[in-house]
Structure 1
Amino acid sequence: MKKFKWLVAGTALTVVLAACGGEDTDTAGDSNGDENEGNGETIEWSLGHLAAEDHIWHETSEKFAELVNEKTDGQIEISIYPNNQLGGETDTLNSIQAGNVDMVITGETMQNWAPKSALLAAPFAFRDSEHMINVVEGEIGKEIEDEIYEEVGVTPLFYMERAPRNLTSNDPVSSPEDLDGLRIRVPNVPLFMDAWESAGANPQVMDFDEVFTGLQQGVIGGQENPVDLIHSGALYEVQDYVNMTEHVYSWIYVVVGNDQFESLSEELQEAVWEASEEAKAYGDELFVEEIENYHNVLEDEGMTFNDNVDQDAFREAMEPAIEESLTEEQFELYQRILDVE
Structure 2
Amino acid sequence: MNRQPNIPLNRHMSRRTSRMNRRRATAAGAAVLVTLLLLTACSGSGNGNGNGNGNGGEGDGGNAEVELTLAHSYTEDQPQHTCGAQAIKEEAEAADVGITVEVFPNSQLGGDADRIASVQSDDVDIDIQGASALAAVYEPAGVVDAAYAFDDAAHLDRFFADGSADQLKEDFKEASGGVSILGAWSAGARQFTANKAIREPADLEGLRMRFPGSGQYLLNAQALGAEATEVAYEELYLALQQGVVDGQENPLTNIDASNLVEVQDYVSMSEHQQNSNLIVVAPSFDSELSDEQRTALEDAVASAVEQMPGCVEDAEQEILDTWEQDGSVEIVDDVDQEAFAQQTDAWFGENLSGDSLAVYEAIRGSAE
| TM-score clears 0.5 | yes
Residue 165 of structure 2 is aligned to residue 127 of structure 1: no
Q: Per the alignment, in what secondary structure is the counterpart of residue 135 of structure 2?
A: helix
Structure number with bigger Rg: 2
Aligned equivalent of 2:162: 138
- The equivalent residue for 1:58 is 81
The Cα shift of 1:262 comes to 3.0
**Are the aligned partners of 1:167 and 1:225 in contact in 2 as well (CA < 8 Å)?**
yes
Q: Does 1:337 align with 2:322?
A: no
User: Take 2:238 and 2:197, find their aligned partners in 1: how far apart are those partners?
Assistant: 21
Contact kept in structure 1, 2:190 and 2:271, CA below 8 Å: yes
1:79-98 alpha-carbon deviations (Å, 9 max, x no partner): 22222232332221112223
> Taking structure 1 as reference, are residues 139 and 237 closer, same or farther at Cα in structure 2, changes over 3 Å only?
same
For 1:213-224, what aligned pairs fall within 5 Å after superposition? 213-224=238-249
Segments of 4+ moved more than 4 angstroms: 35-42
- Cα pair distance change 1:104/1:239, threshold 3 Å: farther
* TM-score, normalised with respect to structure 2: 0.76
Question: Any gaps of 5 or more consecutive residues in structure 2?
Answer: 19-48, 51-55
> Which moved further from structure 2: 196-205 or 87-96?
196-205
Q: In the alignment, is residue 239 of structure 1 matched against residue 264 of structure 2?
A: yes
- 2:280 corresponds in structure 1 to 255
Is the CA contact 1:97–1:257 (under 8 Å) kept in the aligned structure 2?
yes
User: More relative contact order in 1 or in 2 (CA 8 Å, sep 6+)?
Assistant: 1
Match of 1:14 in 2: none
Alignment RMSD = 3.0
Letter of the 2:7 partner, please give it: G
Are the structure 2 counterparts of residues 250 and 120 from structure 1 closer, same or farther at C-alpha, using a change threshold of 3 Å? farther
Kindly provide the amino acid, as one letter, of the partner of residue 66 in structure 2: I
Counterpart CA distance in 2 for 1:122 and 1:235 is 24
The one-letter code of the counterpart of 1:46 is T
1:80 aligns with 2:103: yes
CA distance in 2, matches of 1:204, 1:103: 32
2:197 counterpart (161, 172, 183): 172
Q: Percent identity?
A: 27
Alpha-carbon distance in 2 for matches of 1:227, 1:315: 20
1:305 to 308, 331, 339: 331
Residues 181 and 200, structure 1, Cα contact 8 Å, conserved in 2: no
Kindly tell me the number of residue pairs found equivalent between the two proteins: 324
Structure 1: distance between partners of 2:66 and 2:263: 42
TM-score normalised by L of structure 1: 0.81
1:187 is aligned, of 212, 227, 230, to 212
Aligned partner (choices 114, 126, 131) of residue 103 of structure 1: 126
The within-5 A match list for 1:38-53 is 42-53=65-76
Structure 1 gaps of 5+ residues are 1-16
Tell me how far apart the structure 1 counterparts of residues 240 and 109 of structure 2 sit (CA, whole Å).
23
Which residue of the partner structure matches residue 9 of structure 1? none
Q: Please say if residues 187 and 309 of structure 2, whose CA atoms lie closer than 8 Å, have aligned partners that are also in contact.
A: no
- The CA distance in 1 between the partners of 2:119 and 2:88, in whole Å, is 19
